[in-house]
Amino acid sequence: MIPWFLLARDRFEGKEASTYRLDWEPQTFNGAWIPSRITYVPSETAMYARMRAPDFDPFAEAILVRPSGEATLRGADGSAAIEGKSPGYIKVAVHVDAPALLAVSEAYHWNWVALVNEQAIQPVAVNGALLGVPIPAGAFSVEFSYRPLDLYAGGVISALTAIVMVWAVAWTMSWRGIHPSARSTV
């Protein structure tokens, strides 16, 4: 067991800094886990308040912000292990006894897509920052892929701009060929 101490800023939200202690076995932690407890909160403020509580354990409890207060998942017993990882891709082997939440130590972004039993599922933010996805009971693999839609949109815009520029140059060249007054004299 290795203790890690995290010290918040000198002042946080107008209060003195807090020290947090995280204990875990580095040999057993591989970057993916099944939280045994899921807490739904109505806002980010409530989430951060819960995370500051002395009994908060980030490996046992997952906090999800749901403004409507709907609780769709419960904690479950299970195991998760990362099978493969490369930039923009993560594959996790999962075994759970009931529908649960899979948490992965990767930064959450809306461009991540998860494939669970060949069905695309939009991941959720766990504890405000980590990647998570609801999963059914059973043993299977979950594949995460980062699909940078911003990059694709930028590529389309750049391609359209190049087409317009080529068309403008071709049109200008043909216009100069038709109108002799447009030719420059040397």
The arithmetic mean of pLDDT across residues 155-164, rounded, is: 90
The arithmetic mean of pLDDT across residues 23-32, rounded, is: 65
Give residue-wise pLDDT tens across range 32-80: 999 989 989 999 999 999 999 999 988 889 999 986 555 566 777 888 9
Q: Is the pLDDT of residue 1 over 50?
A: no
Give the CA distances from residue 127 to residues 15, 51, 55, 67, 84, in Å, rounded to whole numbers and listed in that order.
Answer: 21, 8, 15, 15, 24
Residue 26: predicted pLDDT: 53
Give the CA distances from residue 121 to residues 35, 110, 163, 169, in Å, rounded to whole numbers and listed in that order.
Answer: 19, 11, 36, 45
Which comes out higher in pLDDT, residue 136 or 1?
Answer: 136
Q: Is the pLDDT of residue 103 over 90?
A: yes
Mean of per-residue pLDDT scores for the chain: 81
